[in-house]
Homo-oligomer: A and B are copies of this chain.
Amino acid sequence: MTNIKDIAKRVGVSTATVSHVLNGTGRVGEDTRKKVLHVIDELNYTPNRIAKSLKVKKTSTLGIIAEDVTVFNTPSIIDGINEVAENNGLGILLVNLRIFHKMGTDFSDKDKLRKLLAQAFEQLHMNQVDGIIYIGTYNRDVTEAIPPIQIPVVYTYCKTTNESDYTVNYDDEEAAYKATKHLIEHGHKKIALISGKVDSVHSHERFNGYCRALKENGVTLEPCLIKNGDWEVESGYYLTKELLDEKNRPTAIVALNDLMAYGSIKAAKEKGLNVPSDLSIIGFDNREFSAYTSPELTTMSIPLHLMGEKATYILHELINGKTLEERELKLYCEMINRNSVCKI
């Protein structure tokens, strides 16, 4: 490998001079500059960033810790991170926790989780990344699993209880409000809610949005129209059957994710009901498949790409020693109108 010394020798200058033309620092005569550049090109020289990093104590690379890259939200967030990282000359060191493979679906083994995270952070630390973005698989409190860490971190798609931490998420409450209101505007009054797991932040906040929409529009909340699912297709399916069996059946359902919404569609069809003319359904997440169900699902789209962008923007500022006023960023979801909702 050719190095800065080779270049210096060949041109007949010092390595300091070569370094200066490489970085645009210091004053270098136009003539020498050209000569240096020419030899660099000639010898096809690429500076060794590892060496530079060691010296300047800054790697210009960001660490990403993704709980699971195969989960639907993660690739788009990473794509957003890439976009702004690239614009700022930052590299990306990726660690994929593969949390579902290692922990199964409940994260109750706190010790194991803590060990997993400690390793991930340590790996990034060893590699001297300038900052870290942590991407969760769903919005839960990760505080107790996070080891102490002395470089900037921003959390996305998850949260912490530490007030000094930076998080970027989206506004669940507002999104559910919009979804519910959309149904009301289409003339629905009996609007069921199929919630996710009860201990979920998402369930909780979306429930609040649902309630607010009803209240603000003078629709009375009927407890029997509220069901708790577990985010999976099956629960949407069974709960919808339950709802449809009641005498006072709903004319619309807001399902708190697309998976359960799909279960709802299935159940409705089995009952001989047409979606949307007999039953309107609105989902959440705008997962890819929601465009391919029958009927195609109206759903709330999560600003994943933007979350990645914002997280990176914030991290970049933190790395540069700034502190930002707003520590909990909440982005807005957009409604994707497809064919599972209609006027009553």
- The interface of chain A, by Cβ under 8 A from chain B, is 46-51, 53-54, 59, 61, 64, 68-70, 72, 74-76, 78-79, 82-83, 86, 91-96, 98, 101, 122-123, 125-128, 262, 269, 287-294
Most B-side CB within 10 Å, residue of A47, A59, A93, A122: A93
Give the CA-CA distance A273 to B326 in the complex, in Å. 56
Chain B residues with Cβ below 8 Å from A61 are: 93, 127
Task: Tell me, in angstroms, the Cα distance from A263 to B79 when the chains sit together.
Answer: 28
A18 to B75, CA, bound (A): 41
B residues near A54, Cβ cutoff 8 Å: 48, 50-51, 54
Q: Could you tell me the distance between the alpha carbons of A238 and B2 in the complex, rounded to whole angstroms?
A: 58
Can you name the residue of chain B whose Cβ is closest to the Cβ of A259? B292
Whether B96 lies near A79 (C-beta < 8 A) is: yes
User: B292 near A127 (CB under 8 angstroms)?
Assistant: no
Bound Cα distance from A78 to B48, whole angstroms: 26
Q: Which residues of chain B come closer than 8 Å to A83, judged between CB atoms?
A: 98, 101
B69 near A78: Cβ-Cβ < 8 Å: yes
Q: Given that A50-B53, A82-B69, A288-B288 are contacting pairs, would A91 and B127 also be in contact in the complex, using a CB cutoff of 8 Å?
A: yes
CB distance from A152 to the nearest CB of B (A): 15
Q: A48-B128, A83-B98, A293-B293 are in contact. List 12 more A-B contacts (CB 8 A).
A: A46-B122, A69-B79, A70-B79, A79-B96, A86-B98, A91-B93, A92-B96, A262-B292, A287-B288, A288-B288, A289-B292, A293-B294
